[in-house]
Amino acid sequence: MTSFFDRYEELGLRRNPFAAWQLGDPLPDTFIDRGLPAPPPAGSKTLVQVIGESGFGKTSHIQHWRKNNCGPYHYIPRRPLSARRVEAPLGDLVYGDEIDRMPRLLRRNWFRRLADQNSTLVIGTHADLSRLGRRAGFDVITHWLRPIGAEDLAKMIEARLMGESIRPDSFRFTTAELDNVLNQSQGIPGRADIICHKILAERALGLSRT
């Protein structure tokens, strides 16, 4: 009897490429180029903030930039609260994510120390921190991430399928499925990933019942 996961191979896939990332796996490439300019070079005394709700692609943008220009990375978790007080790194070029979760006093002091060193700080945040950045002495560049459209959604799906596919041309979403993903996700990439995962799983499950 053919297993459920063997049916992914019948679709031309090693596995479901939209599966949630798990610890130990390589980070999935979810970057969608939205035309944002690369951050200024290290030592420019600039705060670059990428603002958007959960699932809009803040982390993927930061990690994409970091691949090209390395620097220490500081992530603020949701839990436990004590982890939010971990000492933040310093350097000529520093990256941070979910920085709006950082305790206000620590964040203010961190910004000031980096600005005093003429550092470039690139962060993902849900809240606009431009006022704090300017008070610290930074020039501030702000990018607001908006919902994606059909073209960007198609590019995102293609990148995921090409990354995991055994036979890249053996599986394609139908036009109706793409429209459904865009409508249900409201153009939020993180939500689109979840819906695509469900569609593929249902397709594989349907094969396993035949």
> Tens of pLDDT along 81-128?
777 788 899 999 999 999 999 999 999 999 999 999 999 999 999 999
The residue ranges of DSSP E strands in the chain, in sequence order, are: 46-51, 73-75, 93-97, 120-125, 139-144
pTM value? 0.80
> Same domain, yes or no, for 111 and 155?
no
Residue 159 lies in a domain: yes
Residue 121 lies in a domain: yes
> Tens of pLDDT along 34-78?
889 999 999 999 999 999 988 888 998 999 999 999 999 999 988
> Tens of pLDDT along 2-13?
455 567 777 777
> Same domain, yes or no, for 58 and 88?
yes
> Same domain, yes or no, for 129 and 153?
no
Residue 40 lies in a domain: no
> HSE (CB half, 13 Å, CA atoms) of 90?
10
Pair of tokens at residue 108: 């203010």
Residue 59 lies in a domain: yes
Cis peptide before 80 (omega within 30 of 0): yes
Q: Scan for tokens 């431009």, then name that residue.
A: 130
> Same domain, yes or no, for 11 and 58?
no
Structural domain including 50 reads 46-144
Q: How far apart are the first and last CA of the chain?
A: 11
In this predicted structure, what is the pLDDT of residue 180? 92
Q: What is the CATH number of the domain that holds 76?
A: 3.40.50.300
